């Protein structure tokens, strides 16, 4: 299963959600890959504890290589991704790191229409049960590549009025991607993140989404300083605070989306 975590609004917790869901999948024995398509590389640092300096060992190399395929094709029978995949310190969990070189590559990739290359590579990639894709907070070449390659899309929502207003536009955009490029793409659900159940505005906003018929997942993620602490320690919550309430919320979210 290939999932993309996407929202055009920044600061909604895409990297946190991506890495923590992936870490739970891995702990449950599934061979799991996180693909970091955001030039900021937050998922890379969260899982590895550092960013990768050598672009040849990141997803940037895969995209760069796609620009140099000859008329007669590539002799590589694999996906082209294997050499850039890194093992994390956690069993069954791997990451395909981001790199700053993604930024200058983008224009060339768009002009050469390489938008389907990631999907083609995933279809050749073996030995992974789950793939989670972290995306930049904008509909650009990399986020579109992920949406085209994915089976399911999870949308983080951070209980903000501006985020609510943008949500319908986002869903319309996903509908266009589905219609034009990926008929298999499904919105798996909206993840309510940084939820404060005692506050009136978050409860009001969530109720409005539900009443509007939007696919809000029942498992919501609370606001907690433990998230920032886990970032600092480069430890997903299931390894940092395995018995904490927030970790249980992520487990519930993981179980919910896998039962749908």
Residue 81: strand, helix, or coil: coil
Cα 142 → chain centroid: 11
CB atoms within 10 A of CB 240: 20
Q: Which two tokens stand for residue 22?
A: 């992936």
Per-residue pLDDT at 79 exceeds 80: no
Question: What pTM does this model have?
Answer: 0.94
pLDDT score at 72: 46
Express each pLDDT in 103-127 by its tens digit: 999 999 999 999 999 999 999 998 9
| Contact present, 189 and 215 (Cβ < 8 Å) | yes
Helices (H), the chain: 14-27, 42-48, 59-66, 102-111, 117-124, 141-149, 161-180, 200-211, 225-233, 237-240, 245-259
Better pLDDT: 8 or 159: 8
At 232, is the pLDDT very low, low, confident or very high (cuts 50, 70, 90)? very high
Per-residue pLDDT at 220 exceeds 90: yes
For the chain, the domains span 2-259
Q: Return phi, psi of residue 30, to 5°.
A: -90, 130
CATH number belonging to the domain at 2-259, selected among 3.10.310.30, 3.40.50.300, 3.20.20.70, 1.20.1250.20: 3.40.50.300
pLDDT score at 78: 62
- Compute the mean pLDDT over every residue in the chain, rounded to the nearest whole number: 92
Q: Which two tokens stand for residue 66?
A: 């796609």
CB atoms within 10 A of CB 101: 16
């Amino acid at each position: 299963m290939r999932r993309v975590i996407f929202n055009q609004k920044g600061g909604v917790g895409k990297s946190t959600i991506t890495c923590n869901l992936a870490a739970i999948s891995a702990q449950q024995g599934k061979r799991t890959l996180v693909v970091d398509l955001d030039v900021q590389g937050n998922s890379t640092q969260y899982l590895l504890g550092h960013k990768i300096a050598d672009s040849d060992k990141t997803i940037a190399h895969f995209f760069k290589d796609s620009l140099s395929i000859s008329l007669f094709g590539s002799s590589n029978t694999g996906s082209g991704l294997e050499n850039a995949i890194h093992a994390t310190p956690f069993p069954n969990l791997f990451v395909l790191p981001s790199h700053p070189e993604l930024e200058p590559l983008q224009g060339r990739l768009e002009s050469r229409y390489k938008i389907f290359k990631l999907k083609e590579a995933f279809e050749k990639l073996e030995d992974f049960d789950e793939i989670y894709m972290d995306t930049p907070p904008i509909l650009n070449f990399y986020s579109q590549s992920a949406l085209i390659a994915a089976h399911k899309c999870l949308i983080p929502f951070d209980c903000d009025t501006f985020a609510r207003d943008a949500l319908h536009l986002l869903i319309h955009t996903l509908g266009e991607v589905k219609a034009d490029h990926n008929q298999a793409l499904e919105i798996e659900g909206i993840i309510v993140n940084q939820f404060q159940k005692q506050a009136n505005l978050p409860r009001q906003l969530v109720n409005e989404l539900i009443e509007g018929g939007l696919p809000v997942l029942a498992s919501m993620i609370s606001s907690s300083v433990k998230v920032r602490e886990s970032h600092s320690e480069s430890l997903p919550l299931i390894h940092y605070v395995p018995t904490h309430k927030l970790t249980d919320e992520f487990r519930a979210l993981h179980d919910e989306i896998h039962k749908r």
